[in-house]
């Protein structure tokens, strides 16, 4: 059985391994023992704290194969970004150059550095290890965050964003970064990426261009990747777009990858999830559901085909599922179909 639960300190070795496997560009998991240990401690505190309003909390989940005890993936939520450390983006917009005398009308795209997403919630740190990238595993790992947010909306902003990894060349370097490095920086991409991952973002304000940048003046290779995602990120983007997320012109400073957004209450999995009581009994032949309990520190989620609604609108689950979810007869759970849903 695959089980999702909050991360704990004993998971540190495998989290470090995941950070290594994720490679450059995955800034939310820096290969740094102190930062990863701090991330785990912060997550444990966030899950354990009774929160009435969103703040500087971070929630990190792990996907565990209960048959082996192996951690095979992770995903996370930041309750409110940009409060302690600024969150910068480029915003791509259009300006008009018009001369009535010359009868010239030109629309020109520009990039302007901003921190417009300060205070919003962010889904992040989604990584599934290679052997488990099959079936519904990735969908389960992504959607569980929306189940948790639907159950605990006070912990999160009304706006939710996701930063998508941008395009990289065959050497792993983003074409968008190359022009930045040429004109504004004297460090390589892995170094800049690592500094961001460990929270050292002061150099961004110091070295980034302070004025709008005309997109047409950039190298063609950089222009082509603005708002585009890495090949490996396309499935994740498609999943989020199906949830209702959309791109409004905000892109990453270094790789040009898009940031997508959606109102929390408009996320499809939030709208389509249901809270019901459970009945523990044998059950067969049901739809594939993602099911979570309603707890925080002891949050648990599974997906299974052995669950079904009865005529009393109770969710009938097997004793095995009840044990994994830490629930008994009459307890509440929240569930969501993992099958393709109608919009």
CA distance 8 to 43: 8
**Residue tagged 């902003």 (tokens):** 157
**Residue tagged 């095979």 (tokens):** 72
Annotation says 230 is catalytic: yes
Rama region for 16: left / alpha / beta (φ>0; ψ in -120 to 50; rest): alpha
**In this structure, are residues 75 and 144 in contact, taking their beta carbons and an 8 Å threshold?**
yes
CA distance 185 to 208: 8
**Chain centroid, CA 17 distance in Å:** 19
CA distance 279 to 300: 17
Task: Check 91, 98, 152, 230 and give the catalytic one.
Answer: 230
Q: Among all residues, which ones are annotated catalytic?
A: 230
């Amino acid at each position: 059985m695959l089980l999702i639960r909050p991360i704990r300190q004993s998971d540190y070795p495998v989290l470090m391994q995941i950070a290594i496997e994720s490679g450059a560009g995955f800034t939310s998991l820096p290969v740094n023992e102190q930062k990863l240990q701090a991330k785990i401690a912060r997550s444990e505190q966030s899950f354990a704290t009774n929160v009435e309003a969103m703040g500087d909390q971070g929630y990190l989940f792990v996907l565990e194969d209960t048959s082996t005890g192996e951690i095979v993936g992770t995903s996370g939520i930041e309750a409110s970004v940009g409060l302690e450390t600024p969150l910068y983006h480029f915003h791509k917009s259009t300006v008009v150059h018009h001369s009535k005398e010359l009868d010239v009308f030109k629309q020109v795209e520009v990039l302007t550095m901003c921190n417009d997403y300060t205070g919003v919630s962010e889904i992040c740190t989604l990584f599934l290890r290679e052997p488990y990238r099959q079936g519904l595993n990735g969908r389960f790992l992504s959607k569980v965050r929306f189940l948790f947010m639907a159950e605990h909306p006070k912990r999160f902003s009304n706006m939710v964003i996701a930063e998508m990894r941008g395009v990289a060349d065959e050497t792993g370097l983003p074409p968008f970064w190359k022009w930045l490095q040429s004109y504004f920086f004297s460090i390589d991409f892995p170094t800049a990426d690592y500094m961001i991952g460990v929270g050292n973002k002061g150099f961004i304000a110091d070295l980034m261009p302070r004025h709008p940048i005309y997109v047409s003046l950039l190298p063609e290779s950089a222009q082509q990747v603005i708002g585009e995602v890495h090949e490996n990120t396309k499935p994740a983007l498609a999943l989020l777009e199906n949830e209702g997320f959309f791109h409004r012109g905000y892109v990453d400073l270094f790789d040009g990858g898009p940031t997508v957004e959606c109102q929390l209450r408009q996320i499809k999995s939030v709208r389509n999830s249901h809270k019901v009581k459970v009945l523990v009994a044998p059950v067969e032949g049901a739809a594939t559901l993602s099911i979570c309990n309603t707890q925080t520190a002891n949050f648990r989620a599974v997906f299974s085909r052995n669950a079904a609604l009865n005529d009393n609108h109770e969710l009938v689950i097997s004793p095995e599922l009840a044990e994994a979810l830490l629930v008994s007869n009459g307890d509440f759970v929240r569930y969501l179909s993992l099958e393709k849903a109608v919009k």
